Chain A
Amino acid sequence: MPCPCLLDEVLGKEASVNVMGISMFLAQFINIIPALLLWITVIVLVAILLRRGGDRAERFLIAGASLKITSNLLGLASSTILHELINRGYSIAYANSVIFGYGIFCNVVGMASVICLIYAFWVKFKLCKLKRI
């Protein structure tokens, strides 16, 4: 991450704040790239399964993977939002409360994704059991 003092001198205060925000966003984005790639692979594989005659379980799996990607992308913005709020002059306590609410929202999306994935597994389990009978 670039040194804020050096950036202040070279670019001026406002531009330096923007560069810091962008580099924080990029650092977090690089962090979630493996997870994003994994979930995109899952979506592609399940889409192939769906085209070859997949049913409800595969649809839930796609929904779960999509929600997981959404939750990852939403989580990406949290530090940028905190940074932006503090830069706009809001108090740290207010910024923290906003981030707390936003974190709960991201976790609710994460919860929905996990429930979709588990439910997909449950549907597949019931289907396999019926086939065995």
Chain B
Amino acid sequence: MDYLEIISPSLLRNIPELLAWGFGIFLAVIMVKRGGDKAEKLLLAGCSLMFIRQLASPLLQGLMQRLVSEQGRSYIDIAQTIGLTVSLPMGILGLAGFVCLVLAFWMKFWARRPALT
């Protein structure tokens, strides 16, 4: 099976969220250019990380399927490779993006409200 054939369904499925994160990057860039503060920069970083994660996830999954279909590899070897090449980078990217977004929203909505913090 061709690599493009493997990744195209999940890439197509991810297009709506990719567009949403792209829209987020676009608005965040405008906010930063119009004098945005730390919160806006964090939003830009968060949206960019989430965009990269959404884009890289199907590509790495395609790589994972190729690894699984390769002959002569033990299950432990495949599991280790998948963990290191797919799950770990995706987890780190997702967590970093999520932390950036939570911080950005926290700063924007709750930072100047001592009663809630």
Contacts and interface: CB of A to CB of B under 8 A. Distances in A.
Interface in B5-64: 9, 12-17, 19-21, 23-24, 27-28, 31, 34-36, 40, 43, 47
Contacts of A61: 105, 109
A114 B54 CA distance: 13
Interface residues of A, number: 27
B108 interface: yes
A104 B13 contact: yes
Interface of A, helix, strand, loop or mixed by DSSP: helix
A49 B115 CA distance: 10
B3 interface: no
Contacts, number: 67
B31 A125 contact: yes
A113 to B, nearest CB: 8
Given A118-B27, A121-B105, A125-B36, A45 B16 contact: no
A115 B20 contact: yes
Contact of B14 (A58, A107, A115, A119): A107
A110 B17 contact: yes
A59 interface: no
A12 interface: no
A49 B112 CA distance: 12
